[in-house]
Amino acid sequence: MRVVRVPLGERAYSIRIGEGLLSGLGQDCERLGLGRHCTIISDSNVAPLYARRAAQSLERAGFEPREITIPAGETAKCLARVSDCYHELARHRAGRDSFIVALGGGVVGDLAGFVAATYLRGLALVQVPTTLLAQVDSSVGGKVGVNLKAGKNLVGAFHQPRLVVCDLATLETLPPRELRAGFAEVIKYGIIADARLFRRLERDLDPLLRRDGGALAAVVARCCAIKAAVVGHDETEQGRRAVLNFGHTVGHALEAVFGYGKYLHGEAIAVGQVFAARLSARLLGLPEGDVDRIRSLFERAGLPTSVCLSPHQRENVSRAMRLDKKTSAGEIRFVLAERIGQVVWGRAVAASVIREVFDLLLRKPSGGG
Ligand code: NAD
Ligand code: GLY
């Protein structure tokens, strides 16, 4: 098992990474000195697969778990489902000493985390991510929240978990498309912080896509270590944490415009990262060879690198980009790469340049979608 610490002083916590950790969840929670009552929040795909095992482990350690199941998918990450959870918690008479276990992908983690941040002004949270994307990114760092129709993650809070348990064995049941979407965040870490990781992904992508346990453990741990270091320096995104949003301005806009259905989060940010790489070449001199390596790695991972938009959708994407949280004083700010492994953040980019680079990402509608 590998352990990565998130260095946040008295709120520091561990990310435990390994095969079969779900059966030790109860013992892990016991060490945190939490109250006996807890609620496992999961979704309709994950609960039938893993909620029983999680509940049994918690029961063996003396906890009294309840379960709440939300519908699977990004459209469930909304205030209506948060409200459902509040009512269930009230029905279960969850007290301030009870805690929430978020068992699932990033949708469950973000939503359950937001419920934990707000119910009774804050309950303890344990993240048990079951997608690659959630293991390397969303379960770590304390950003929790839900979407509005107007944009992604517009309602939220910072609420750090007390523990993150990444059981790599849960990835065996993950649909291939969801696994590939997780690689969009994995590749992001290579671009923003670690050229060696990027080269390793270029070399080992095939065994990773085959879910080779050893290769995955090392990569998940490296991604978590990068995120832990960034969050440790800038928990509430006053500056450096913004690097984690590389490719997200366009990515979030695509998700919002297509109604959180057509593109998975990972797919949308793959397109967004290729956009950001092209923008970086235009504005910071990122070598064209690096843009090609970035695009080709996403393609090898089976992720989209271009989009097909009608003029109307294109206008909506521009509007959604302006609404994104990364907009400041009306200017759209980007994270840009100087080279693979090194980025700068907070770069305001003129609308005309954004339009010009966006043209390079557009496919013709007749091209088969
Ligand atoms: P997801 O939670 O929708 O999970 C993907 C799909 O896989 C769902 O249908 C789910 O039911 C299913 N699933 C999950 N685990 C499974 C398993 N082990 N076996 C079989 N099926 C399984 O999506 P995601 O990609 O994990 O997360 C995306 C969300 O994460 C987005 O809302 C995004 O905004 C958010 N996010 C948040 C942060 C953050 O810092 N909080 C960072 C990155 C992404
Ligand atoms: N995924 C962006 C962040 O955690 O800050």
Domain boundaries, given as residue ranges, for the chain: 2-173, 176-363
Ligand nearest to the CA of 242: 2
Using alpha carbons, select from 179, 170, 133 the residue that is nearest to residue 53: 170
**Tens of each residue's pLDDT in the chain, 369 residues:** 999 999 999 999 999 999 999 999 999 999 999 999 999 999 999 999 999 999 999 999 999 999 999 999 999 999 999 999 999 999 999 999 999 999 999 999 999 999 999 999 999 999 999 999 999 999 999 999 999 988 789 999 999 999 999 999 999 999 999 999 999 999 999 999 999 999 999 999 999 999 987 899 999 999 999 999 999 999 999 999 999 999 999 998 998 888 777 899 999 999 999 999 999 999 999 999 999 999 999 999 999 999 888 888 888 888 888 776 666 666 789 999 999 999 999 999 988 888 888 888 777 655 443
Q: Which residue among 131, 147, 159, 172 has the greatest number of ligand 1 atoms within 8 angstroms of its CB, and so is best to mutate?
A: 131
Could you tell which of 135, 137, 138 is best to mutate to test the pocket of ligand 1, judged by most ligand atoms within 8 Å of the CB?
Answer: 138
Q: Which atom of ligand 1 is nearest to the CA of 152?
A: 34
Ligand 1 within 6 A of CB of 265 = yes
**pLDDT at residue number 365:** 58
Ligand 2 centroid to Cα of residue 245, in Å, is: 6
CB of residue 326 inside a 6 A radius of ligand 1: no
Give the closest residue (by CA) to ligand 2 atom 5: 244
Residue 367, burial from CB neighbour count under 10 angstroms (0-12, 13-18, 19+): exposed
Residue list, ligand 2 pocket, CB within 6 Å = 137, 141, 143, 241, 244-245
pLDDT tens by residue, 29-74? 999 999 999 999 999 999 999 999 999 999 999 999 999 999 999 9
Selected catalytic residue, list 77, 162, 248, 326: 248
Q: Which fold has domain 2-173?
A: Rossmann fold (3.40.50)
Residue 361 is predicted with a pLDDT of 78
Q: Which atom of ligand 1 is nearest to the CA of 153?
A: 34
State the pLDDT at residue 369: 38
Q: How many CB atoms lie within 10 A of CB 293?
A: 17
Say if 2-173 and 176-363 have the same CATH topology: no
* Nearest ligand, measured from the Cα of 233: 2
What would the 3-class secondary structure string for 264-291 be? CHHHHHHHHHHHHHHHHHHHHCCCHHHH
How much is the pLDDT for 72?
97
In this prediction, residue 97 carries a pLDDT of 95
β-pair type (37-43, 99-104): parallel
Buried b (16+ CB within 10 A) or exposed e, 175-191: eeebbbbbbbbbbbbbb
CATH 1.20.1090.10 fits 176-363, yes or no: yes
Question: Residue of the nearest CA to atom 38 in ligand 1?
Answer: 138
Mutate to test the pocket of ligand 2, among 133, 245, 273, 345 (most ligand atoms within 8 A of CB): 245
C-beta of residue 257 within 8 angstroms of C-beta of residue 180: no
Q: Report the separation in Å between the CA atom of 107 and the middle of ligand 1, taken as the mean of its atom positions.
A: 5
Residues in Cβ contact with 173 at an 8 Å cutoff, skipping those fewer than 6 apart: 49
